[in-house]
Chains A and B, each alone.
Chain A
Amino acid sequence: MAPVHEARILGIHDTEIGKLAPLTTWDLIGQSTAGALMDAALDIGVLDGILCTEPMVGGAARHAVAVAEYLGLSERLTVCETVKNGGAAPLSALVTAFDLVESGRCQAVLVLSVDTVRTGQDPSRTLAAFAGMRHAVWEQPFGMTTVSAYALMADAYLRTYGLGRDDLASIPVELRRYAMTHPGARHREPLTVDEVVASRPISTPLRLLECPSVSDGGGAVIVGRPSIAANGRVRGRLLGSGRGTTHDSVAYATTLDRTGCSVSSGRALTAASVSPADIDFAMLYDSYSIAVALQLEEIGFCPPGQAPAFVAEGGLRLDGPTPVNMHGGLLSHGHCGSAAGIQHITEAVRQFRGEAVNQVPSPELALLHGEGGVLSTNCTAVLAVD
């Protein structure tokens, strides 16, 4: 259905990523809101919608409404909602923001996603929170961790396709290549396949350097009518989107060979009337090495079982068929707890503006994927430069 109104991404902001104490989640909310408004050259009064992801640390019980009062926006907002579906939340909020503007419900929606999961609370509480993400009845009694859930997906994947136990190691290495040249990335030192393979096992076959390290940080995006834009930096239109799920927990998954990523990406590509070959770059939710492999294959960037070879042959590089996560991704740029994925969106906008550090030449189409849980919640968006 054709939108009633046009919508574009009018402004973006990234916070720093790392150990940001004494800054709190609320400091980052203020920074991100001001930063995105400044980027858009808009006054805060234009905002009539807020979509917040729920922080793991420092959020309020009714988070979006608390953010609204904090920013002095309460009464003028027609939409003010907290989005909580794990790692898919920032992208899911972005898609909803486009829906709100295109349908005429809002003129400008702030998508806000920040967290201080690294320094905002005692590490033991963060570990307990991650343990609590597994099913309380059918997974926790057996000691399944979040890494273990992905490790089970990885083990099944490697067995199904007869691949080697080290074959996912090139994925973090390729993402590190981008991070090394990106001043905002948390991990910028060189990384080799041998170092990944030699890093200690966390939950076999996944090793330390195939897993993210959590950071504080996040960002914001303003989606609004282009008619209110105050400068020429407006880039990014939603061409199509999809959401999908096949399971929440591993315990309920009837197969480990296919996830909701195939459902959501199929819906998004159909809605956008494009194929993977048309996409100029992709921003994938690289929470673990295996997540990248599964997304590349389920979206259709490479055939089933061939993601490791695709990546090792330079498939994710600027001169490859599908540049992916040119900011270094969650694995090297940084994973900010519940805000993981917001900087995938801001990086995509920088690519469209031609202002990225690792710039794809004149990109016109991007595919973004977010997932939460263990590819449980899935959201895919196809964005066009204009």
Chain B
Amino acid sequence: MTPAADEAARTWWDAARAGTLLLQRCTRCETLQQPPGPLCRSCGSPDDLDWTDGDGHGHVVAATRVHTTTYPHLKDALPYWVAVIALRDGARIVSNLVAVPDDTTLADGQCASLTFVQGPNGALPVFRLDPADCGARGGAGA
């Protein structure tokens, strides 16, 4: 784990590498926050944080197909997708889109759901595009 990780990040990544998407929840103000941290960034409480399993469904807020990378170990993976996903649960997460066909034009509000791919350090939580409407509202806003 990188030295930039804190206790919450270690908990989150340990779960992710074992195949579970955890979301940190504040039981005081009911906010889900991603990334997790030492306190609730919404109400400030440090004492009311809990973990919940994310249901893994959401929609694409923004996505980019990366054709040139500054990471030497990802050169062979080009092109790959990086996206911001708004989870139905209420948090947002930066992740990858996988198995995206070459000619894909992402629709506004494109639905996506969680899957895992094996990376060098264990499972990596990523998203694949859903064909069906997931009930997410369109557009990239908010």
Contacts and interface: CB of A to CB of B under 8 A. Distances in A.
Interface of A: 124, 127-128, 130-131, 135-148, 151-157, 159-160, 200-206, 250-257
Count chain B CB atoms within 10 A of each CB in A135, A148, A156, A254 and give the residue with the most: A148
B68 interface: yes
B74 A256 contact: no
B124 A141 contact: yes
Contact of A257 (B4, B66, B141): B141
B64 A152 contact: yes
The 10 residue pairs across chains A and B that have the minimum distance between CB atoms: A151-B64, A136-B4, A131-B70, A156-B62, A156-B140, A159-B140, A152-B62, A155-B62, A204-B65, A251-B94
Contact of B82 (A143, A153, A201, A256): A143
A258 to B, nearest CB: 10
Contacts of A148: 64, 66, 82
Contacts of B69: 143, 145
Given A139-B94, A204-B65, A251 B139 contact: no
Nearest to A138: B35
Contacts of A151: 64, 66
B61 A145 contact: no
B66 A127 contact: no
Nearest to B37: A252
A152 B84 contact: yes
A157 B108 CA distance: 12
A145 B84 contact: no
Given A143-B77, A144-B94, A145-B71, A137 B66 contact: no
Given A137-B9, A142-B96, A159 B108 contact: yes
A142 B119 CA distance: 10
Contact of A200 (B9, B61, B67, B126): B67
Given A142-B82, A156-B140, A254-B92, A147 B62 contact: no
A333 B141 CA distance: 34
Contacts of B35: 137-138, 251-252
B70 A127 contact: yes
Interface in B33-89: 34-35, 61-72, 74, 77, 80, 82-84
Nearest to B10: A137
A146 B68 CA distance: 11
Given A152-B63, A201-B65, A136 B2 contact: yes
Given A147-B68, A152-B64, A153-B62, A160 B124 contact: no
B94 to A, nearest CB: 4
A143 B64 contact: no
A141 to B, nearest CB: 7
Given A138-B35, A152-B82, A155-B140, A203 B63 contact: no
A165 to B, nearest CB: 9
Count chain B CB atoms within 10 A of each CB in A131, A152, A157 and give the residue with the most: A152
B69 to A, nearest CB: 6
Contacts of A156: 61-62, 84, 140
A136 B139 CA distance: 29
Contacts of A157: 140
A128 B63 contact: no
A144 B66 CA distance: 8
Given A137-B4, A200-B67, A254-B92, 8 more contacts: A124-B72, A127-B70, A137-B13, A160-B140, A203-B67, A203-B82, A204-B65, A256-B61
B5 interface: yes
Interface string B100-142: 0000000010000000000100001010000000000001111
